[in-house]
A and B are shown apart, each in its own frame.
Chain A
Amino acid sequence: MSAADKALYEAVFNENNQEFVIAGKLRPRREDEILGLLEGMMAALDNVRGTFYLNVKRLAHLNNIAFRAIAEVIAEACERRRDLRVEVITSSVVGWSTRKFQQFARHSPRVTVNEYDKDFYPGQSFWEEGGFVPTLRLQTRLTWRHERKLLPQHGLRPGMHVADICCGIGDFAVLLKKEFKPGRLLALDHSRSSLDYARKVAADFEISDIEYVYGDASELMIEDNQFDFVTCRHSLQIFDKPELILKELFRICKPGGRVYITNEKNSHCLGEPRSDSIQWTYTEVAKLFAHFKMDVELGPKSRRYMLDAGFEDIRVDSFMVTNLDGDPQEFADLIKAWETVFAGEMARDRGDPPEFLAKFRQGFQDHIYAALHPKGYAGWPIWAASARKPA
Chain B
Amino acid sequence: MSGANQLLELSMGIEHFSSEWIHCDRISSYVARMVSHNRADSLLYANLLSSALNELLETVFAHHGPNGQLSCRVKRAGASDIIELSLPCDDKALKFYTQAADMLDRGDIADRYQEALFSSGEQDPHLGLLEVAVDYRAKIRIAPAGEHLTLSAEMTLEGAQ
Residues of A within 8 A of B (CB): 1-2, 5, 25, 27-29, 60-61, 63-65, 67-68, 71-72, 75, 92-96, 98-100, 103-104, 106-107, 186, 188, 195, 199, 208, 211-215, 221-222
Contacts and interface: CB of A to CB of B under 8 A. Distances in A.
Contacts of B114: 103, 106-107
A61 B131 CA distance: 14
Contact of B128 (A25, A60, A64, A195): A64
Given A106-B114, A107-B118, A63 B55 contact: yes
B47 interface: yes
Contacts of B37: 211
Nearest to A106: B114
Q: Is the interface of A mostly helix, strand, loop or mixed?
A: mixed
Interface of B: 21-22, 24-25, 37-38, 40-44, 47-48, 50-51, 54-55, 58, 113-114, 117-118, 120, 123, 127-128, 131, 135, 157, 160-161
A71 B123 CA distance: 13
B22 A213 contact: no
Nearest to A75: B118
B40, B43, B161 — most chain A CB neighbours (10 Å): B43
Given A93-B44, A215-B43, A103 B117 contact: yes
Contacts of A5: 22
10 contacts: A25-B25, A75-B118, A93-B43, A95-B161, A96-B135, A96-B161, A103-B114, A107-B114, A188-B43, A213-B41
B123 A95 contact: no
A195 B41 CA distance: 9
A5 to B, nearest CB: 6
Nearest to B22: A5
B38 A208 contact: yes
Given A96-B161, A100-B135, A214-B41, 11 more contacts: A2-B22, A27-B24, A64-B58, A64-B123, A68-B117, A95-B51, A95-B157, A104-B118, A107-B117, A215-B43, A221-B47
Contact of B118 (A2, A71, A95, A199): A71
10 closest cross-chain pairs (CB), A and B: A29-B21, A95-B161, A95-B48, A213-B43, A211-B42, A96-B51, A27-B25, A107-B118, A213-B41, A64-B127
Contact of A68 (B42, B51, B55, B123): B123
Contacts of A93: 43-44
Given A63-B55, A96-B161, A221 B43 contact: yes
Given A1-B22, A95-B48, A96-B47, A27 B135 contact: no
